[in-house]
Structure 1
Amino acid sequence: MRESTLQQPNIIVFFTDQQRWDTTGVHGNPLGLTPNLDRMAVEGTHLYNSFTSQPVCGPARSCLQTGLYATSTGSYRNGIPLAHEHRTLAHYFKDAGYKTGYIGKWHLSKHEPVPVEDRGGYDEWLASNLLELSSDAYQTMLYDNDGQEVHLPGYRVDALTDAAIRYIDRCRKDPFFLFISYLEPHHQNHSDNYPAPVGYEGKYIDRWTPPDLRALGGSSAQHLGGYYGMVKRLDEALGRLMDTLISLKLSDNTIILFTSDHGCHFKTRNGEYKRSAHESSIRVPSALYGPGFMGGGQIRKLVSLVDLPPTLLDAAGIQVPAHMQGRSVLPLVRGASSDWPDEAYVQISETQIGRAIRTERWKYAVAAPGKNGWEEAHSDVYVEELLYDLYSDPYELDNLAGIEAYRHIADDLKERLLKKMKEINEPTAIIEPAARVVGYRRPELRMS
């Protein structure tokens, strides 16, 4: 039994950065990188089809903190702080009597260190707005509640995990909500490299390459070894946290959410690592473990990042605010799936003003012609850009947009996309068809 007699479950969010879904064993990766996450998914609840609602750091974080899409939070691209009017998970849990703590990368302020008013309501703070700039793999520097520099020893994943373990031990007598935001397996910006712990990268060089990267190349040959090494260390950190809960007798009353902000396409779909509608960019690993989620099995319904905040509140017995645009997955865990949406909706900024819809079988994406995704959040006109049949082409190598034989499919998806845009109060827009392609195949392998 746990030491505290309180019935409110503790909540831990284990949040990684830029982690592809297929780095995990439960998604078929053969390298044994994630035994702890795999066990968590098998024994708890595995959100098999889990997607970001915006494949870039800041906007995705605004979605996970608020349960709103990025255009609703206003943080539709990097560099736009989360407005103080928005209530975050920390506010809701604090109101319910929880201690709240945040460790790691924030990316929702314009300031470093992050001032108190920009911290989303979290009580205890050990974080950096841009962890990729304030630290390196073996030089971790964060800021504390007073805005003072804190230098932590060890590899960065371990440094954050050590801090999280100290927090859990210190707060174990009361219900707590702890958000741990790792930088890994994101690249180190100043070196454009994926620095794994010493000795880890060499284990995974030229071991296994996902089919999309085998076909398209990009920077995967250079970076996959380090990337996989970072994923391995993250999973070891997850195991340490789970061991901590066991040793402190908290494991039977603590919910763990594992998820990531977006994936990584290794410069295959555009000139960097994400910011596209492809699976490699938008699909992420997600699992839930603990009270209410044990034995939940593999959920195949499509789940979005905006669904996770209401899920955590629901699991803690806290009323889900009506304005949240996501919905709790607890009914899915309990077998009630009849009214669950049949699609995931994605907004894209910075590289373009883009919108996409992903169903069980199809991917359909549009982009605003001639518009900059940094300067504007919306467009009144979009043009069809991508159409993939994920049953026959799961790695999205054959773009069907504009092929006349698929016009009826594209028309149906267009209406579904417009309906979703309307549901979340986006401005009215029109979608123009892709340029017509004669025959059954586009001349290019992929969109540039």
Structure 2
Amino acid sequence: MAAATDPQQTPAERLIARTIGATWLLYAVGGLYIAGPVLGWTLAGMACWRLYAGPALAPELRAPPLGGIVWVWILAMTAMLLALWFGHAANDLSAGQTIKSSIGWAKGWALLAVFPFGAAVLDVRPEIVYRAVCRLGRQTLILIPFFLIAPLAHLPELLYVSPLKVLGGSSDEFFTVMLYTTEPGVGTARWQFFAPWSPAAGMVAVVYILCAIEERDRRWKIVGIVAGVLIALLSASRLALVAIAVVWPLAHIVARLSRPATWWIAAPGVLATGLFAPTVLTFVTQAQADFSGARADSSRVRAALGRIAVTRWRTEAPWFGHGIVERGPHMVEYMPIGSHHSWYGLLFVKGAMGAVALGVPLAYSLIVTGRLALRDPIGRVGLSMLIVLFLYSFGENLEVLGYLFWPALVLIGAAARRGSERRHEA
């Protein structure tokens, strides 16, 4: 297996491995929010050159035809940009605001297309991502004791805000270096590590655990999994714990659906579920109540933000949305309307067109990687990453976190390439 310093790595793989390895350094200087989009567009530029120079390259260096997954994300994120422009025009927003929002699109939604495109064309090996994530896990394990000691030693929560914030971002949170945060109303410490807030750290933890599981070297695997689990636990993210318990088993079940043994094993479970359906339903209902009650104030604010977003979308701007994010009223603590939820946010800002532009490629990719998972391990990995995106689309705004979970997008691109190669070989 190639290690993160393997000289046989391609330039694209070295860029990816070194960027992952430099995560903590980039976070310390406030450059993490910038590095993700820069890397994504750099890989896309390299991929465009590879396609342009394809006829002059050796056959083994030529990229296979772009698969459906890559194309659907490119078209969908282009539609997202068009929805943005239409929304700005419909709401009479200034040209300056439109340019600013277009740059935001390039740093956000566009990454869902450029990373899979770059990874698919440049033939990025998944093993490079797995090992780089585990190496980052080792760094994190070294730093975790310091984070745990910080609140006990009464060190300040906020260390500093990087001056790089002048380069632009939706808020200072993306350039803030935090040791820990204190949970309102409870007083307990909660950690966000190199993410802008704790639930985002939980999402990164899920992606990293799924990568570490695929690592072949047992020592690195253990390091990566332990680091990911600790991040998820210390972030106190409810959704992260659910995702850890659900995503990997679900992806493996899908990957084994073509095996008769899977159906024989599943049959008793299906029968039992039918027999005990009322009990199961009661358990699920109680679990949902406990999930929301774990942070009642947070759940209340999230629900209110969703109701405001849907009401104003339906009554004011159903097709192309309001064009920009707006702050909510006092009842939601002035948080942006539609935040904490990709679908509500899309409906409010980009209308029905924006929601369709995310829903179609996500559904299509889940189906395609699900089929690929029956025949190839990278299909299972791509499927698991897409399930993570689907789950977190209901708890986070995917647009602003693309700079963090981009390794998942690289693996989706690797799965897309493998699917294209299989079709080309057939």
| TM bracket (short chain) | under 0.3
Query: Normalized against structure 2, the TM-score is what?
Result: 0.26
The two structures have a TM-score, normalised by structure 1, of 0.25
Bigger share in helix: 2
